[in-house]
Structure formats: C-alpha cells, structure tokens
Amino acid sequence: MAKTEVRIGSARYPLHSVNTLVIGSGAAALNAALVLHDLGERRILIVTERLGSGTSHDAGSDKQTYYKAAVAGSAPDSPLEMARDLFAGGSMHGDIALCEALGSLPAFFRLTALGIPFPRDRYGAYAGYQTDHDHRQRATSAGPLTSRLMVEAFAREVRRRRIPILERHQVVGLIPRDENGTRRVVGAVALDLRATGRKSRGLVLFNAVNVILGSGGPAGIYQDSVYPESQSGSHGLAFEIGAPGCNLTESQFGIASVKFRWNLSGTYQQVIPRYFSTDRRGRDEKEFLAEGFPDFAKLARAVFLKGYQWPFDPRKIADHGSSNVDLLVHRETVLLGRRVFLDFRRNPEGAGPKATFDFDRLDPEARDYLARSGALLPTPVERLRKMNPPAIELFLSHGIDLEREPLEIRVCAQHNNGGLAANIWWESEIARLFPVGEVNGSHGVYRPGGSALNSGQVGSARAARFIARNNASAPPSPAVFASWAETRVAEIRDRAERMLAGGKKRGLDPEKALREIRRRMTAAGAQVRDLLTIDRTRGEAWSLYRRSLASLSVSSADKLPAAFRALDHALTAAMYLEAIREYLKQGGRSRGSYLVLDPEGGHNVPALGPNAAFSPAGPDDFPSRRILQVRLDDSGRPETRWTDIRPIPETDLWFENVWSEFRAGGADR
Ligand SMILES: Cc1cc2nc3c(=O)[nH]c(=O)nc-3n(C[C@H](O)[C@H](O)[C@H](O)COP(=O)(O)OP(=O)(O)OC[C@H]3O[C@@H](n4cnc5c(N)ncnc54)[C@H](O)[C@@H]3O)c2cc1C
C-alpha cells in the first residue's frame, strides 16, 4: 500500500493507493482480505469505523447458527441438494445458490482451521441440527456468539499477517468512472473521524482498482431493531453511484428486547412468559394477548411456538398461530403507541372462563416439552432457570434482572435478505465493486437460518479469488487518479462545507432526520405494509432525501459523520420504500416476514382490527417469478426493473472437460 498526498482544488488530501480497498471489518470483509492475502495480493487496505463494530462482532442469539452442507453420520447431502434448498426460498438466482452450496464446505473448513470451536466428536464428525427452512441437519453453532468468534479469529490473523487497517474512518462516498459505456468504481472518500476539525475536514482518499464493500445490513434505517447499536450500514454509498439493489422488500422481523438488543426466541418463549402493555408512562397495564386469542390454551400455545418460529411469518397467522403474537405486539407499539413488556415473574392469563394458567390446560406439545425438561415449575423465570440458566445470566450481565423486572420488547428488524445486486463473483453492475456479506442481496424470500453467515463467507472468498485472478493490476498514479476523482471529491468536500455553513442557519438536523427515517421505516416498511401508506411514505422519504442533500447542517465539524450517515440512510430508506411500493403495485402479497394488508384478501387478521385482511403470495404471482431491482438512473431518479430468476445451471462435470477448462483459467471468470 502506498500513502501519498494529492492536491484537488485548493486542498491537499492524504491518498492511499491500493489494488483492493476493503470497506468494513465484519466477518465478510475480513475474510475477503485474508483470502486475497492467501492468493498473494499484498496491496490491500481495510478501512473501517472500528475493529469490533458491526453485526458479526456484536450480535448473537440463543444458539447462533452457521449453515453449511451436512458432513456427519449418514446424513445424505450434496451441493446440488443444498443449492435446490436455497433456491426453493424463492426469488433467488440458481447460479448464486449453486455457488453458495459448493463454497460452503471450503468456507466452513477455513473457519475450523482458524480455530472456531464448532463442535465435533472424537472421530471428527461435525454433527448438525435442523434450522428453519432446512430439512438436512445442516446447521451448526459455536455457541451464542458464533460470528464474534469468527471476527476475533480473522482479526488476529489480519494482524499477524500485518494487513493494514485504517480504523476510525467512515467512508462517505465511492468514486465512479464511466469508460466505454461501462461504469466502474475507482476509489472512495472517507472521513477520518479524529480529524474532521482540520482544514481538509478530515477527508481521506483511496485510489483502488477494486472495492470490496462489506458494510453489513441497513440497521440504521429502522427504529425498532435488534441489530447492534454499532451497526448502521452504508447502502447509500453504492446506490448513489447507480448500483442496483435487489429483493430490498425482503427483511426479517421478530420479537426482541430493546434495552439490551437480543432476539427473544427459544426458551425465552417456551417457558410461556406473560406479555403486557402499558401507556407511555407505564400506567394502564393490560394483558393484551388475551384480546387476540379465544382462550388461555391457544394463547399459551402461540407463545410457546414462538420459541422456534421466531421471525414473523404470515404463514403462521391462521388457526391462532404464533405470528399473531408479533401482530398484537405491533398493534400495541406501532399503532397504539404503547409499550410492551415480557414478564417472567408471573404466568399469563387468557380470555374466557378457563383463563388462568394451568399446566393441564396447556397444549400437549408444550406441556410435554416442559415436563421432559423437568420444568413444570410455578413461574416462567423458574422454568427458564431450570431449562436455560445462561439465558437469565445474559440479561443480568446487561443490568437486567428477569427475576425482578419485566423486559421491554418490540417487533424488530433483524436481517435483510436483499441488498445490492451482484453476479456469481459478488461483483455489482458497477464493475469492480464487490458487495459481500449482508450488504449483498443474494438471498431470496425464505432463507435457512444460518445461511447469512455461509453466504458472507462464500461470497467474500469468491470476490477475492476473482480479483486475484482477473483484476490484479496496480492502481493508477496519483496524478491520473486525481484527474478521475476531482469532480467527485469536490462534490463531497462541498457537501461537508455546506453542512457546516448550514449550521449557522439552522437547517436540517441529522439526528432529527434519522429519527424521521427510522420512525417511517418501522411504521410503514417493516412487518406490516399497505399500498396507501407506502404511496404516501415513499413520497415523504424522497422529499427527505432531497432536503437532506440541500440542507443537512451541523453546528460543529465533529458532527459531520452523523450528517453523512443521515444522508446515506435517507437515500437507503427511500430506495427500500420505492421497492416495496413497486412490489405492492404489481400485486405483491404477503410473504417472507411481512404482511400486506389487502381489504380483498381472503384471510382475516383480527389482531389488526375487524376489517383487516390479507392473502399469501402464490408461486405464480408475477413478483414470485421474478426478482425486483431498484437503482438510481443518471439523473438520480429511481428506476425499478423485474429480472427473470436464473435457474440452477446444469453443469458438465465430466472430469476431463472440467480439467481442460480449469487449465485454461475458466474456473475463475
Ligand atoms: C440478533 C441477530 C442474530 C443473528 N443470528 C444469525 C444466525 O444465527 N445465523 C446467521 O447466519 N446470521 C445471523 N444474523 C445475521 C448475521 O449475523 C449478519 O448478516 C452478518 O454478521 C453480517 O456480517 P457482515 O460482515 O456482512 O457485516 P457486519 O458484521 O455488520 O460488519 C459491517 C462492518 O462495516 C462497517 N461499516 C459500515 N459502513 C461503513 C462505512 N461507511 N465506513 C467504514 N466502515 C463501515 C461496520 O462498522 C462493520 O465493521 C443475525 C443478525 C442479528 C442482528
């Protein structure tokens, strides 16, 4: 990596020239850097807000799952079977599913070689279990913090190999270049978060042949979120230069605690805690679930099932299914503005004559489960202590004592299956820009639990391999780069100066803008959607983006990072709402982890009111047979397009033919 300075306009900026710039330090970004290094590339620079930030490092769950091909015992599996299962999730390209399946075991064994403690027996069998949307026992876990263990191992290795990392830098713009009708990325601009007070506003430039974007999920656009606080996301960087997003409609939502962000799945629900709501000041306590279920037995069954039916799923509404719990929490929090709590100190009560808690009134599945766990105990917290004591200790370590206090919850955004569109080498339509990890929208509608981490590992390794084999050239000279980057850098510099000058005239406050974005996304672009509301909120979102471009303002230079973040998120949220509107306009119905309200729908949703109805998406619906993309056109207007779903390719696996193509380099392009 070469560090110089470059003059653009009247200012001088630090300039890093590299073959590959890696943005972010989550599991995907760090893996990309390491694989590139394995393949001999040394001109790498990792730039990140902070090593130890992001979802991989800071999120986890009861048993954080890593999905891979089955390798133990007599479990039958094959790459094609796995690809078919990924593909069956809907709106996922078959060639990408095949790559994710074929790359699964190499990626997994890289992790075991790095020392990630995935459980195995004395003969070396990595036993698996079944996760959601999986029937092959492909899932494994290294405990509640699997992805953190991955990041820590990668970070150790990155340091050991002395791959340079620039921390405390926030990338605020990518630099595109149009040549012969193709747009490619040639670098990036970041804010050095410790230097925004300087004359240069802390701007740092990167001259790169390739940019790997591992900036994670769009956590910062939601008010109700179980993404860690350290994750915000930066999709706007890519949208701004015309990179298309795909499947932006498809995110996962579920019940989580908000004071300390944690998914409340597994035993937290299986012990059947009491749900109650209050007004904003904690008064007017109400056991609102009783209003949504005819009796205690059905209520308790739905709560119990929520344990292993965690994400909201419209297919689990009928027959008093577990998703009614999410909808009733949504009604209390989003529609009625109340607060909702899980109380482990007392048993729930239902409606009707047999309303009180009684083990004999429990659904046989729930009762049997508790009995076999030796947990037919008087209160939810006693049952939790018996079945999963670490679940109590985890909250205690974050200052929340489930024995003494209720836990505030909401229905929260957890993961985006969509993201930036890319090909089988994880390269965007903007050439040499490689979105890897959650920012890449490779998943379809339903994904097996744990496949996000698999996809992040496979995709980042494939991007690195492609770069090492095809784009290994040196970056251009600083003078050439300066001539390419001049206009873009001036634009970003000008933005920073306007934000600062605007502070004196009281323009748009970034924190206020972020609050507006988040409120809007949680109310209209999350688990419950309808066309009328989306029509309105999409307009509001674009208007906020335009206002953000014109009038975001800060009172001091140390607030510039927040202003750039607000601008990024204003664009990201507008693109997401644009996608949702297009989906609904084309007749898109309920699927994945969201409900589309439709007065003509054949299924009632009493949880949301007497007239609320929906219908589930069908396999022959127009949107089910395609993938929706959204991008900004050259004049900055959103453009939607429906692309055909590519099937799983039929490959010729005759060894001699594969060998001959391999020798000709065909395996890496
Ligand atoms: C509660 C929870 C539970 C989950 N459980 C599972 C599970 O069991 N199995 C599974 O497969 N998946 C799970 N997921 C999803 C999975 O953890 C994430 O998809 C994955 O960790 C994302 O990794 P990543 O490397 O793409 O991004 P992250 O780990 O989020 O890293 C993003 C990085 O980019 C940096 N960054 C962002 N923008 C910028 C910028 N502009 N400039 C510089 N740096 C930037 C961030 O600081 C961070 O370092 C879960 C997610 C959550 C929230």
The answer to whether the beta carbons of residues 384 and 393 sit under 8 Å apart is: no
Question: DSSP letters along 202-225, please?
Answer: TEEEEEEEEEEE-----GGG-SSB
Closest CA to 461 of 24, 109, 33, 149: 33
pLDDT in tens, 8-66: 988 999 999 999 999 999 999 999 999 999 999 999 999 999 999 999 999 998 889 99
% of the chain residues with pLDDT over 70: 100
Q: What is the dihedral of CA 298, 301, 302, 308, to 10 degrees?
A: -170
Ligand 1 neighbourhood includes 265 CB (under 6 angstroms)? no
Ligand 1 neighbourhood includes 225 CB (under 6 angstroms)? no
Greatest C-alpha distance within the chain: 81
| Cα 642 to Cα 218: distance, rounded to the nearest angstrom | 22
Sheet containing strand 419-420, edge to edge, reads 419-420, 245-246, 626-632, 638-644
- DSSP designation for 645: P
- DSSP designation for 332: I
Q: Is 323 exposed, middle or buried (0-12, 13-18, 19+ CB in 10 A)?
A: buried
Residue 176 in tokens: 């595109």
pLDDT, position 61? 87
| Cα 205 to Cα 188: distance, rounded to the nearest angstrom | 6
Ligand 1 neighbourhood includes 136 CB (under 6 angstroms)? no
Ligand 1 neighbourhood includes 219 CB (under 6 angstroms)? no
pLDDT, position 504? 61
524 lies in some domain: no
Give the domain extent around 268: 252-414
The answer to whether the beta carbons of residues 438 and 419 sit under 8 Å apart is: yes
* Total count of domains within the chain: 1
Can you name the residues that pair with 286 across neighbouring β-strands?
277
| Cα 632 to Cα 362: distance, rounded to the nearest angstrom | 53
Three-state DSSP state, 125 = coil
Phi and psi at residue 277, to the nearest 5°: -125, 160
Ligand 1 neighbourhood includes 53 CB (under 6 angstroms)? yes
Ligand 1 neighbourhood includes 65 CB (under 6 angstroms)? yes
336 lies in some domain: yes
- Closest CA to ligand 1's atom 19: 438
Place of tokens 């050095």: 192
The answer to whether the beta carbons of residues 304 and 366 sit under 8 Å apart is: yes
pLDDT in tens, 207-237: 999 999 999 999 999 999 999 999 999 999 9
Ligand 1 neighbourhood includes 147 CB (under 6 angstroms)? yes
Helical ranges in 473-625 per DSSP H: 478-502, 510-524, 531-551, 560-585
pLDDT in tens, 129-164: 888 777 788 999 999 999 999 999 999 999 999 999
Place of tokens 């957890």: 414
The answer to whether the beta carbons of residues 642 and 364 sit under 8 Å apart is: no
Q: End-to-end alpha-carbon separation of the chain, Å? A: 26
Residue 535 in tokens: 């029509």
pLDDT, position 37? 98
Q: E strands, 107-229, where?
A: 139-141, 165-166, 169-179, 182-192, 203-213
Can you name the residues that pair with 278 across neighbouring β-strands?
339
35 lies in some domain: no
Ligand 1 neighbourhood includes 174 CB (under 6 angstroms)? no
- Closest CA to ligand 1's atom 44: 48
- Residue to substitute in 138, 158, 453 for testing ligand 1 pocket (most ligand atoms within 8 angstroms of CB): 453
The answer to whether the beta carbons of residues 275 and 288 sit under 8 Å apart is: yes
C-alpha 175 to ligand 1 mean position (Å): 24
- Closest CA to ligand 1's atom 53: 227
Which stretches in the chain have pLDDT values below 50? none
380 lies in some domain: yes
- Closest CA to ligand 1's atom 26: 437
| Cα 383 to Cα 381: distance, rounded to the nearest angstrom | 5
